[in-house]
Structure formats: structure tokens, C-alpha cells
Amino acid sequence: MDPKKSRLNLPAGLESSMRLDTSLTHFPVMPKSPSPKKVIYGDRFIPCRSSSRLETFTVVEKSSPAKEGTNDLYLRLLRAELFGTETFPLSPAGGEQGSPQSPNKNMFRFKIDHSSPSSPLSGIVTSQDGGPECSTPPKPPRKVSKTPHKVLDAPSLQDDFYLNLVDWSSQNVLAVGLGTCVYLWNASTSKVTKLCDLGNRDGVCSVQWTREGSYLAIGTSLGDIQIWDGARSKKIRTMGGHQTRTGVLAWSSCILASGSRDKNIVQHDLRIPNDFINKLSGHRSEVCGLKWSHDDRELASGGNDNQLLIWNQRSQQPVLKFTEHTAAVKAIAWSPHQQGLLASGGGTADRCIRFWNTSKSNMLKCVDTGSQVCSLAWSKNVNELVSTHGYSQNQIMLWKYPSMSKIATLTGHTMRVLYLATSPDGQTIVTGAGDETLRFWNVFPSVKSKVGNPSKSSYTRKLKC
């Protein structure tokens, strides 16, 4: 067979494949004709400079005049855009009013684009001298444990809104009134001591340590006040003055104030033999809240008549009356950071925490908590406060002042959280409820990790107390 004829009769595709096969069988292959060389171009395009006017974008020396034949107005406008109108002021006609001043150090000044907060450079802030500086990123919110680190059984802890049965001394000893008895729990050793038993005819209605933590005052159902030495478990004296139960006590440096269901507030002085030195009448119902200010100048009292009264050391009549609460006022706390700042909480029909400036006699803020406010305590380490609640959520809430933003909400008690006390270091609180439990929570930071140190005057006031 003639191989040339077979090749001519084959289709084009088959022919190409057949060429490949025949090349593998050592058929002679015709040499390919040389292809012309390809021109390799670079990756940049360099234009002809003669046709462009790049000289107009050249920064001209400030002392050299504009070249003849160029657009003087265009150059002046360009320099004004680069260096600013303050450096190259323009006359109304577009000409310069004088020679350029000292050069602008920040010719290309960075500014934040507020329209795009998601920009990766949104955290950079321009300093006053024009240089960019990094702003401090916002600190993450402090983590507060939502569970108590310790739970103690407290059998016979009464579910009574008007009593005050828990207090924590500056010597780290917790006093708890259970039925007719008072027990001491040493937080350092976890040792429990039975301090006293009032007997079947009487009962414990309130407990309060002195600020030094050595003596404990106990208010009874019969209206008496007993003073006990906690270290020696010995009763010092008994003082009268009330006709019925004494549900709240408050120590200043040397004066003990007591509030009763008989609507009176009685002041006692341990340095004199008399039962009391003064009796204050202003409430129309049972007195259930009582707190001295940190400088001992003012005494705040709350009652079942929905009133919050402010007394001073010299007057037997209240110097201020606040009647905005619509329920009983038991929760009272003075700020350790600002003189004259008082917080108070209302009962079930009110549910509000209100803040007062006793120096200016006005209300500063009102916050609806959604539940009965049973007690309040201000942190001495940071400007925060904690509140405990009853109907209907039985929660514990941590607040930041003055914004009153919620830091944490703690739950666990199954009944009203009526009692609250703070540890000597200011970090831990203990809460008591009608579910007969005491729960310990770590809610406040330590002094070293706190944000914003209190003023020196605040520390001085606290040390004096």
C-alpha cells in the first residue's frame, strides 16, 4: 500500500494522531521551520514624559518664585491643598497674601472615619499634636461568679422583712440570730460558737457589731438591747428604752441607735449608766431601717410609713423628710466614696432604689428593680453597690454607680433575701433568706485591683470610723 495515498485519504484529526504513532515507530520526521522570535514586554508601562505635565505636581521650594509660563493660580491652589490655607493663605483674588509660614509638621494628618466603625483602624486616635496614637481598648466586664462559694445551714432564720439578723464584724466574725439564740461563726477558722440564748419568753430581732468588732448589740422581742463581748462570750449590760421589739440597730463611733415597732428611735451611750440619752420621734409606723453616715454626722431612718428621715446629732426632729417611696423603707446605705450620698430601697409596692443628696436635699436617681428591695450595701473598694430582693424574684443584683448598669444578677435563694452583710476586706457578701440558708458570694474586687482610687478624704473618713 502506498503510504502517501493513505495519508491523504485520512481525516485531519486521525492524521495527526497517526503522525504521533508513526513517530514512535522511527519513521523519519520532517524538521520544523524556524518560528520568528517573540517580543517579551515588561510588566510596566512607561509613558512618554514629554506629553505629560508632571512638573505641575512637583513641590516647589517655598522661597523660589513660580516659573514663567506655568499656571501660577493652579500651583498656588495645589500648594494650598498640600500645606493648608493657614500656611499658604489665599487672597480674595486667589493670590498669596505673603510668604509661607513655618511648614506644617503633619502635612498628611490621619483622622478617624467615624462613618465606618468596623474599620480595622477605628481604634487609632489622632493626638493633639497630629500624630496618631493608640487608644486604650475598653476593658472587658468583670467576671462575677454566679454561684456561692459557701452555703451554711441557718435553721430558724426568720422570714420577717422588718428584722435584721445578720452582721459581719471587722474582726471577721459573723453574728446570726436564730430564733432565741445568737451564734458566732469565725470566717477565718470556720468555728461556730453559741453566744447566748434569750429563753422562751424572748427572741432575737436584730444584731449589730461595733465598728471595732469587739462588742455585739442584740435587740430583743421585749424591746431591750443587750451588749455582749464577743471574744469572751460575756454580757456587758442590758439597756431599755423601747416598749416592744427592737428590729434594727446602728452604731456610730460611740452612740448606738435603735429602732422599734413603737415608732421611736432611741440613742444609747455606753459611757454613761443611763439606758438612753435621747429619743427621736418622727415615724408613724415601725422603724425598720437605720444607718449612720460614715462621718457620724447624720442618721438615716426608714419606716413602715414609707418615709425616709434624716437626723443630725443636735436635733430631736428630722432635718430632712423624703416621702417618694411608696412602700416600707428598710434598705439604707451611705456611700463611702461621696459625702452626703444616700441610697434607699422600697418594699413590694415600690421596688425602687433611690439616691439622695442630703447636702442639697434632693433626689438624684430612681431605678425600678422589679422586686421588693430588702437590703443594700455599698462597696468600699469600688463605686458599686449590691441589693438583695424579695417578691417576686428573690435575686441579688450588683450595680455600677452612677450609671446603675447591671454587672450581675445572682440567684439561688428560694425565698426572700432579707439579710445582707459584707466581709471586712470588702470582697465577699453573705446573704440570708427565709429558706434557712446563708450563702457567701464573691462580688467585689480587692483594693489592689479596683478601678479608680477613692480620694484621700474618703480614706480618712473611713479610718476615723
The pLDDT of residue 66: 46
The pLDDT of residue 392: 85
The pLDDT of residue 77: 80
Residue 298 lies in a domain: yes
| Residue 6, Ramachandran bin (φ over 0: left; ψ between -120 and 50: alpha; else beta) | alpha
Residue 349 lies in a domain: yes
Residue 280 lies in a domain: yes
* Cell numbers at 462, concatenated: 473611713
* Cell numbers at 433, concatenated: 433568706
Q: How far apart are CA 238 and CA 268, in angstroms?
A: 11
Residue 32 lies in a domain: no
Residue 159 lies in a domain: yes
Residue 64 lies in a domain: no
Which residue range(s) make up the domain with 423?
150-464
Report which secondary-structure segment, H or E, holds 16: helix 12-24
Residue 352 lies in a domain: yes
β-strand partners of 352: 368
Structural domain total, the chain:
1
Residue 307 lies in a domain: yes
CATH of the domain at 363: 2.130.10.10
Distance of CA 279 to the CA centre of its chain: 40
Stretches where the chain sits below pLDDT 50 are 1-11, 13-30, 54-66, 68, 87-133, 451-465
pTM metric for this prediction: 0.69
Q: How many CA atoms lie within 13 A of 322 on its CB side?
A: 28
DSSP letter at 50 equals G
| Contacts within 8 Å (CB) and 24+ apart, 215-223 | 216/167, 216/169, 216/175, 216/182, 217/249, 217/251, 217/256, 217/258, 218/177, 218/182, 219/245, 219/246, 219/247, 219/248, 219/249, 219/258, 220/245, 220/246, 221/245, 223/260, 223/262
Q: How far apart are CA 137 and CA 192, in angstroms?
A: 47
